[in-house]
Structure 1
């Protein structure tokens, strides 16, 4: 157990060290507290949901592992989320999908509406958190030959258009009830395994479908849509209808958010470099922070170089106000609740580390071609006592410091998770 007096003493030392560089650690802590992460519910149940929990995962999605304690019911999933959120400093949001509706009778995806998410809204009010939405375009028989909104069959397109429209009603409901803007993220799995003859027509069909879904106007204080592209996926290795460039153009031309998933790009690409290229033209970003060990493998987020580049760019370019940060990973080889905590705390650490820098002074040096100072200071910052500031943040927010949170996880496993199996 970490002693409070040791944390406070270490923080005062770190505060003085950073002050020598002109960095206000108290200001950084206050800034970090205002950043809400969007925690993805599907880490807790391996993306089964409650509408068709035995349906095979489709859309190129797969989960590895069989660690005991998977959530099987709404009450189990919300209990796990409550435990995870209690170990993450600050107040955040939770991302849902259509397939997490809680209904009293069997419904198809295109029949799911706001009334089927009252359970979640009531729970969110108790937790004092917000909710984000994702229409589910996978794990359903009407994903025909890997096509949904871009399908050549009107009947298939109409079905998924209705799913998209319903999700907007649900997202608007979240915003109205919870008083926090709900981001409604659209991703579809459409594409071809082998080389297509016609690459344009499917994209024209997707364009038309999206325009029909978004035709109705909603108050953007309640909800706004984000569109998410992909490089390729399992079963659509040769052609992805919803490519990055397609959605980049759609977001700009239609006033939507552009979603950048860290795992949806080529492994050698730096996704953070996309932010400043898009922001001068676009409305804003939705991020899905993931760790693509092998392209879109959705490993639990850790404090690695890729995450640090993402957060440094957001902080240094002052893009946080136009960026929504969500998590997107699923790993069933480890404790599912712990995965939430590890990923969220790593993201917060990366944000804090980015804030603990003399950014204005470094920008001035760069403007004056003083690249020596820029390199020297950024290198020295890597060994500054950032960890002591993070510990203080945990302490201020009433969450365990260091690895103390693992004791909570082990007790929760003993009392709850291991009893489910």
Structure 2
């Protein structure tokens, strides 16, 4: 018996003493896929022919060597990262990560431009999620779906429609629904007189994009809000109020990004606020520091609070968990591993909570015992259960995964 197994058995008994079955927790964790984001591997560059610099308030800071330059390199990097992460995973793609020998306009992208991604996903038994790319394009400099010029607006509407067909293709080919998330950078740096007209245009544009009904077993639409961004500090058309209302009235999923709100706001608290009104919720788990800076996810209070809300309310089939960070100042593969494993650890810790007992105490208004139990269970050996999970999935236990990343950096990344 390995040290991990011995330690796990001791932890298993300690959790059993408070009414928690660790095996049940591990089995449930296996059913909660994390959708990793492709853009961490290449600093949101994508693979469009003739693509320019990032725009739309998006920045990837740092110049750590070895970023992926092609889709082949990116998939290899993802393979390495996923080999160090236990459990079920998905991949979240942006439209700008298409593969074509020739330049393809965004309103003309087709499923065939993502065939290699689908083949790779099949080989790795992964689901794919998708995003239209409404930034880093000559026609996105002023606005996209809210542009006053109908021709430009129509271009971006056609892009959205084309992306929905690709998302449907993912769902059909892979047997799991693709969540397609719409985020646009439209807004204003300074004061705006007419805030209403752009929002009216956005409603019309979104309605046009989702006008074709698609079976939800293949495709789920989502819309994502933002408080502000670089270049849109004074006014963001797609605010939280706008998209929450849109999702509730149109039957789409709502995307909540942990970096898209005021620093004092927690998206964990918003989960139970919106779930009575929407069927599906998409989470972009990220970490802001001073703004929407998309730092690598930590196992911090906010991440834990998000996981607790999902598990305590048994939202397994209605909440889709994705990651959204892009740190170019550290090894990009390590960033994926750290962030994804931290999200999984938070989910596991939530699954190891004696939720039924805590709810009973709360209903009995025994707030003393509730607080005491919440605090005492924090000291229980959840790490031993996590180590057992890693061992069962044949991924490195503890920090040993870093040795694999360093080896890959030496033999692969340093040669780029």
- Aligned residue among 360, 366, 378 for 1:364: 360
- Aligned residue among 95, 101, 104 for 2:101: 104
8 Å contact 2:49–2:103 — kept in the other structure?
no
Q: Output the TM-score relative to the length of structure 1.
A: 0.98
Question: Cα offset for 1:54?
Answer: 4.6
Give the match for residue 322 of structure 2: 326
Per-residue CA deviations over 1:139-160 (Å, capped at 9, x if unaligned) read 0000132x10001110110010
- Aligned residue among 286, 294, 297 for 1:301: 297
Give the match for residue 394 of structure 2: 398
Per-residue CA deviations over 1:309-352 (Å, capped at 9, x if unaligned) read 11111111112221000000000111001100000000000000
Give the match for residue 283 of structure 2: 287
Give the match for residue 383 of structure 1: 379
Task: Report the count of equivalent residues.
Answer: 416
State the secondary structure of the residue aligned to 1:185: strand
Give the match for residue 46 of structure 2: 49
Give the match for residue 63 of structure 1: 60
CA RMSD of aligned residues (A): 0.9
8 Å contact 1:260–1:288 — kept in the other structure?
yes
2:71 is the counterpart of 1:74: yes
State the secondary structure of the residue aligned to 2:140: coil
Question: Cα offset for 1:91?
Answer: 2.7
Structure-2 change in CA distance of 1:339 and 1:412 (3 Å)? same
Per-residue CA deviations over 1:98-155 (Å, capped at 9, x if unaligned) read 100001221111111111000100111111101100000000000132x100011101
Of 45-54 and 122-131, deviating more is: 45-54
Structure 1 residue runs of 5 or longer lacking an equivalent are: none
State the secondary structure of the residue aligned to 1:282: coil
Question: Cα offset for 1:270?
Answer: 1.5
- Aligned residue among 243, 252, 273 for 2:248: 252
Equivalent positions of 1:14-413 (< 5 A) are 14-52=11-49, 54-145=51-142, 147-413=143-409
State the secondary structure of the residue aligned to 1:320: coil
8 Å contact 1:195–1:239 — kept in the other structure?
yes
Distance 1:193 1:419 in 2: 41
Question: Cα offset for 1:295?
Answer: 2.0
8 Å contact 1:102–1:117 — kept in the other structure?
yes
Distance 2:385 2:50 in 1: 43
Question: Cα offset for 1:97?
Answer: 0.7
Of 244-253 and 46-55, deviating more is: 46-55
Distance 1:186 1:172 in 2: 15
Structure-2 change in CA distance of 1:285 and 1:315 (3 Å)? same
Distance 1:213 1:376 in 2: 51
Distance 2:95 2:304 in 1: 32
